[in-house]
Amino acid sequence: MGPEMSVLFCTYPFVFDAQAKTTLLEIDAVLQMQMAVDQAHRQNISSLFLPVVESVNPCLILIVRRENIVGDAIEFLRKTKNLDYKKPLKVIFIGEEAVDAGGVKKEFFLLIMRELLDPKYGMFRYYEESNLIWFSDQTFEDSDLFHLVGVVCGLAIYNLTIIDLHFPLALYKKLLSRTTTLDDLKELQPEVGRSMQLLLDHPEDDVEDTFCLNFTITVENFGNPEIKPLVPNGESITVSKENRHDFVNAYVDYVFNKSVEPLFNAFSQGFLKVCGGHVLQLFQPSELQAMVVGNTDYDWKELEKTTEYKGEYWAGHPTIKLFWETFHELCLDNKKKFLLFLTGSDRIPLQGMKSLKLVIQPTGGGEHYLPVAHTCFNLLDLPKYTDKDTLQAKLLQAINHYEGFSLA
């Protein structure tokens, strides 16, 4: 087949399902990491013969204090060159001995995103009705910080780590340059979305008298209502049957675009700086969302079925049978805590439970010892419990005190 007849499958995203696209993105990230590492090695070799050439670390080493994780990370990332973002990330918590083989990194992203997205910082607004967040147009923070939040999110995806982002699908639409719609407003603000749908579905001609609306939106400005026009001279334009679709489109556009444009643009630039590229454009918004935050399609029997065992443990071992009997009796919240304890995330990859590849091995000591998680490898050290009540008590104690890494 000649060059004029060649086919690039990446130009036909419908050929791939979501799992295939995720695999392509992971391969692309690994290749970019290897290129960055190779370049660092070449520079280090050159530095041996040319004193003017500075030696560099082939990895991006992030050292943070647990009690100041946001401040330390932001200060570090501000000084980091764009090229260094492509290196494999290694995280070190000061005062903790674990070498980051993946688990420390997972916890770092979990903790820093929990902090950065907390409404107390005023960068994002929390919508209680939907349990989602969106960019706050009332923030005092400058766009530079939103850029760094985007970098952190990009680093998580680039380093194949699921993160907990309570954003609506609209975020992923915008990252992929798709248009937001009324459905996105319904997801973020269900009550407002329903009101807009009622407006569109009203069968009579008396829209002006029934709804009494003009082309404005009322927003809260530090506790005080403020009316803003959706279009020029919006205060003097009454919503009618003829222009109600224009009103709804303008309302949606204001919420997701106009009101937060500089903030989102900064976030998007930071995000795409790390993990943008042709492969990302293969994704549908819902697929990108599932890849970023994982999913909650839990199949606990599948988890048991695909778990592997080491040492004297096997599926029929008395302790293992006690473990799974106890585990399946846990409430959903505690099962999710177990996933968080063992894998660093309470959500599962897009590929499903089978991709977690949990491993359970016996450990020395008596029944008074707690189970220990090696988050880097999804590996559980499980003492040889012989009593179900003891196993349940120790397991619950362990999963409720999971934070922190030590070799002790």
pLDDT on residue 162: 79
Active site residue 376: yes
At residue 405, the pLDDT reads 41
Cα dist from 294 to 69, 377, 399, whole Å: 24, 18, 20
CA distance 256 to 181: 9
pTM above 0.85, yes or no: no
Please state, in angstroms and rounded to a whole number, the distance separating the CA atoms of residues 288 and 308: 29
**Whole-number pLDDT of residue 406:** 38
Phi, psi for 239 (deg, rounded to 5): -75, 125
Q: Consecutive sets of 10 residues in the chain, 408 residues long: mean pLDDT of each?
A: 50 64 71 75 74 72 89 88 83 75 76 81 89 89 86 86 86 95 97 96 92 91 85 93 96 96 94 81 86 84 94 95 96 92 80 83 87 84 94 93 48
Of the candidates 153, 212, 331, 376, the residue annotated as catalytic is 376
What pLDDT does residue 222 have? 72
Q: Where do runs of H (alpha helix) occur along 176-279? A: 182-188, 190-201, 207-211, 244-256, 261-275
DSSP string, 52-114: TSPP--SSEEEEE-GGGHHHHHHHHHHH--GGGGGSPEEEEETT-----SSHHHHHHHHHHHH
Task: Give phi and psi for 405, each to the nearest 5.
Answer: -125, 135
Could you say which DSSP state residue 295 is in? B
